Each structure stands twice: as C-alpha cells, then as structure tokens.
Amino acid sequence: MSAYVIDSELFGDQFSTVEMREIFSDRQTVQAWLDVEVALAEAEADLGIIPAAAAKAIRDAGDAGDYDLAEMKLEMDKTSHPIVPLVRMIGAKCPDGLGEYVHWGATTQDITDTGMILQIRDAIDVIETRLAALAACLADHAVTHAATAMPGRTHGQHAQPVTFGYKTAIWLDEVRRHQTRIDEMRPRLLAGQFGGAVGTLAALGDQGFAVRAKLMQNLELVEPAITWHTARDRIVEMVSVLAMIAGTCGKIANELFLMTKTELQEVEEPYPAGKVGSSTMPHKRNPAICESVAGLVRTVRSSVSLAFETMVSENERDKIALNTEREFISRTICQTDAALAKTVVLCDGLDVRAANMRRNLDITRGLTLSEAVMMALGEKLGRQTAHDLLHAACMTAFKEDINMKAALMRMAEVTDVFSEDEIDALLDPEAYIGLAARMARDVAEG
C-alpha cells in the first residue's frame, strides 16, 4: 500500500488521472524549474547581463531527462534545500565555467513559484477541457429530456412536477459559471514570480524590471505588478474555485445517487459488463461512480481552509506556507480533476428511465397537482378560499387513503365549477411543468 492514494498503483485512478499525475510528477516539477532557469538566462542574455554563450549552455542543460532524481534527492536531503542541488547540477553540465551564470539574480522561491505556476497552467487547461465535456453532456440531457416529466422534490417530499432536462440545465448553468470563473481567474493566477532575495530585484539594479518583463514574456506568463512571495491569494482563489467545481460535481453525483435508489430507479449510472456491485450479493448494482465523486468532493473542500492558512506569512518570507502548499496544491487539483472526469463519465453514460419517472409521478395519486387545482379554483372562488378547500381535500386523501380526484369529487365547491373531465385535465402531471422545458432548452442553447 502506498503512503498516499494518488500515488497508489491500485487506487490512484480513483483519486486522480494519468494526465494530472504526469503534470505534477517529480520529473515534470524539475522540468518546470529548469524551464524557468533557462528562460531567465535567455532573458538576461538578451539584455546583455550574462553572455549569450551562458544562456545557450544553460538551455542545453535544460532537459529534466538528463538528471538523476535520486542523486538530486540525496543533495536536497543534505542541503535541506530544493533548488541549490539543481543549480549545482545545471552548472556542472555547462562548459567553460558558464554555469556560474545560472540563477543570476534569482532566489529559490522565484524558481519554485514560477515553476508551480507553469504546472498549474497545464493543469487548468485540463480542467477546462473536462468542464467543456461536462457542459456538453449536460446540454444534451437538457435538450433530450426538456419535457421528460418527473417528480419535483422539496424537503425530501414530492412537490410538483419538474423535468429531468430542467434539472440538468440548472447543473449546466452552474458549470458555465465555473468556466467563467476560470477565465476571469487566469490573468490573476498565471503570474510568474521574480524578485530576488526579498523581492526588491536589488541584485539586478535598474535592469530588474526589464529582466522580469522579459522572463515572463519568455514563459508566456503574466508579469506581476510586484513580487508576491508572501501574497498567496492567487493560490487561495484557485483552490476556492476548484472546490466550487468539485462541489458541483458532488451535487450532481449526490442527486443521481438519490435517483438510483431501488424505490425510485429514475436513472442508473453506467454499468458496463463485468462491473460488480457486491462481493456477497450478486444482484447489487451499486452507484460506485456517484459515491466516488461524492467522496472526492469532501477531500477537495477540506483544502480550502488549509489554503487560507497560507495567507499569513512572517515578514518578507517564511517556508511554512510554501511547505503547506506543496502538500495541498497538486492533491487538490488531482482530486478535482478526478471528480470532473468521473462526472463526465457518469453523465455521458447515464441511463435515464423516463418511464419510471412517470410512474413515480403517480405515487401520490394526484396530490402533487394540488397547486394546479388551487390556481384554477382560485380564479373562480379566490386564492385563499381555494387553498383552504384544497388543503382539506389533501388531508382527506391522506387520511382515507384515496386519490386526489376522489377527494375533489366529494366537494360541491369543486364540482359546481369543474366537470370531471376538467378535474382530470388539472390532475395531469405532464400538463403542469410550467416553463421547465423552455428553460432547459434556452439554457442548453445559450
């Protein structure tokens, strides 16, 4: 058993994806650091601060595949430092003493923060792709099932009819807001870091701004207005947005989980051949995907409070926040990605059982249409009078275990103004879905 589930050969795909594990692998982390060191050297060479030959030598040493990570770890353990061993190893690969120009004017956090942002950029691209796929699935359900009537439920009880397309359109609208949040967050989040020891660019004198601008241009990152060594709000915002995205996945999964219950069977998650629900009960068809997503959401949500802890640092820098981030950033992104990927699979292969939804609408034998009758009767007798009459009819239906029509047919106040056919029409659940179908189509097409 591995120390953490994301790294487990057995359970890793339940808590992450292959794509995201690669982005945050040790090899890719070192590559991101190397990319920053190379881009820095090239920026400084372009500005005449270091020799062009040094920038070339550093670039030639910029492939993480050429480095022994085990050896690097030994040096990191020895030095208690993440970047010094890398700088030394880069320098050793540069001929003619050109390695002396590696890391010129930088500090460790410049490299690790900017490298982290490069990895986050790749990760956000994946997240956006997943969100687009989820939106497409939900839009398809919203259109296909725009008029598929089903029980609306409030407080765990049947309320009045809705449609499955309406329900999925609400989810779709929420997913689209997450897409907007990511678009708006990108320019704030994807800013590189370069300030030197305490962030003042003192080591580069009056060329500091020019180096910073050129470095960010080389890396295609946003240039920050000022060094953000101790300003971790970018990361906190990202984690908060990811938690909301995961939360939406959790809401979808939880709702579908409830709808799969044996008594309802309004939907079923994908159940490919070979899937097993229980080791002892062969009949079980458990909603394992729904449960997995719901569990992931809880762990992602727990990262939000941890992220907020990093907003407090001492003076111009301490290592406490950085060590904390090292634990939760990749984990949070990996688990959000896993939740999204699973939710896409869940929605894409969902078996929507419209016949069971229609069957369940009849469980209350017309009681869920009480508002429909009340509104029509209110036009004849007044709303409050109609409400009192319908309440009495509903209580009679409950107590005597009869259907709504029978209870209404006993009331002269009702039969005096409505024929039996008109009562039947008022008690048709598919005729009382309001604008649900139109809302679903409008959102899907929007």
CATH, residue 350: 1.20.200.10
Q: How far apart are CA 354 and CA 348, in angstroms?
A: 16
Question: Quick check: 348 and 269 in contact, CB under 8 A?
Answer: no
Last residue of a domain, one of 343, 362, 381: 362
User: What tokens does 45 get?
Assistant: 């060479």
Same structural domain, 92 and 201: yes
For residue 13 the two structure tokens come to 């795909």
Mean pLDDT of 31-51: 98
Residues 322 and 275 occupy one common structural domain: yes
What dihedral do alpha carbons 25, 26, 27, 29 form, nearest 10°?
Answer: 90
Q: Is the pLDDT score of 20 beyond 70?
A: yes
Contact 278, 286 (CB under 8 A): yes
Which pLDDT value is given to residue 135? 98
129-138, 270-279, 290-299, 370-379: which has the minimum mean pLDDT?
270-279
Q: The CATH number of the domain where 419 resides is what? A: 1.10.40.30
The mean pLDDT of 275-303, rounded to a whole number, is 88
Phi and psi at 108, nearest 5°, equal -55, -45
Q: Per the domain annotation, does 55 fall within a domain? A: yes
pLDDT above 90 for 283: no
* pLDDT score recorded for residue 140: 98
Query: How many Cβ atoms are within 10 Å of 86's Cβ, its own excluded?
Result: 23
- Radius of gyration in angstroms for the set of CA atoms belonging to the chain, rounded to a whole number: 30
Banded pLDDT at 61 (limits 50, 70, 90): very high
**Res. 282 pLDDT band, cuts 50 70 90:** confident
Note whether 147 and 176 are same-domain residues. yes
Q: What is the model's pLDDT at position 358?
A: 96
Residue 39 has pLDDT above 70, yes or no: yes
146 and 89 both lie in a single domain: no
* Cβ(321)–Cβ(234) below 8 Å: no
Q: Check residue 22 and give its pLDDT.
A: 95
Lookup result for tokens 């982390």: 29
AA letter at 352? V
- Identify the residue with better confidence: 276 or 424: 424
Q: Which of 362, 383, 400 is the last residue of a domain?
A: 362
Arithmetic mean of pLDDT over the chain:
94
Q: Give the pLDDT mean for 300-325.
A: 89
How far is residue 317's CA from residue 227's CA, in Å, rounded to a whole number? 11
| Segment among 144-148, 166-170, 302-306 with least mean pLDDT | 302-306
List all residues 6 or more positions away from 168 whose beta carbon is below 8 Å from its beta carbon: 138, 141, 142, 145, 347, 440
In a domain, 267, yes or no: yes
- pLDDT, tens only, 338-397: 999 999 999 999 999 999 999 999 999 999 999 999 999 899 999 999 999 989 999 999
Query: What is the pLDDT, as a whole number, of residue 1?
Result: 59
What is the CATH classification number for the domain harbouring 83? Answer: 1.10.275.10
Q: Both 340 and 416 in a single domain?
A: no
- Report the alpha-carbon distance of residue 444 to residue 158 in Å, rounded: 26
Q: Does residue 243 belong to any structural domain of this protein?
A: yes
Q: Which tokens in the block code for residue 381?
A: 């007798």
- What pLDDT does 30 receive? 97
Write the burial class of residue 306 (CB in 10 Å: 0-12 exposed, 13-18 middle, 19+ buried): middle
For residue 324, how many C-alpha atoms fall within 13 Å in the half-sphere facing its CB? 18
Both ends of the chain: CA-CA distance in Å?
47
Average pLDDT over residues 391-404: 93
Quickly tell me which residue has 């949040």 as its tokens: 181
Q: Does a structural domain hold residue 126? A: yes
- Is residue 70 assigned to a domain? yes
At position 363, the amino acid (one-letter code) is I
**Together in a domain, 118 and 91:** no
Domain total for the chain? 3
Distance CA 45, CA 52 (A): 5
Q: Is the pLDDT of residue 2 over 80?
A: no
My answer on whether 42 and 92 are in the same domain is yes
Quote the CA–CA distance of 441 and 228 in Å, as a whole number.
Answer: 45
- Of 331, 362, 393, the last residue of a domain is 362
Kindly state the percentage of the chain with pLDDT values over 70: 100
Model confidence band, residue 64 (pLDDT cutoffs 50, 70, 90): very high
Residue 444 lies in a domain: no
Q: Which residues are catalytic?
A: 155, 278
| Secondary structure (3-state) at 35 | helix
Of the pLDDT bands very low, low, confident and very high (cuts 50, 70, 90), residue 400 is: very high
* Residue 295 and residue 329 share a domain: yes
The answer to whether residue 4 sits within a structural domain is no
Q: Are residues 63 and 201 in the same domain?
A: yes
Residues 119, 243 within the same domain: yes
- Residue 379 CB contacts under 8 Å (≥ 6 apart), including other chains: none
The number of beta carbons lying within 10 Å of the beta carbon of residue 385 is 14
Structure tokens at 10: 């057995």
If asked whether residues 306 and 341 sit together in one domain, one would say: yes
| Residue 104 scores a pLDDT above 90 | yes
Cβ 18 vs Cβ 338: under 8 Å: no
E-assigned strands of 101-220? 149-154, 157-163
- Residue 154 reports pLDDT greater than 70: yes
E-state strands within 255-308:
267-268
DSSP assignment letter at 223: P
| Full domain range(s) for residue 412 | 367-426
Same domain, 293 and 153: yes
Residue 284 has pLDDT above 90, yes or no: no
Mean pLDDT over 421-445 rounds to: 95
**Predicted pLDDT at 363:** 94
Q: How far apart are CA 42 and CA 35, in angstroms?
A: 11
pLDDT at 355: 97
Length of the chain: 446
13 pLDDT above the threshold of 90: no
3-state secondary structure of 222: strand
Whether the pLDDT of residue 298 is over 70: the answer is yes
In a domain, 95, yes or no: yes
CA distance 99 to 121: 29
* pTM of the predicted model over 0.85: yes
Enclosing H/E stretch for 352? strand 351-352
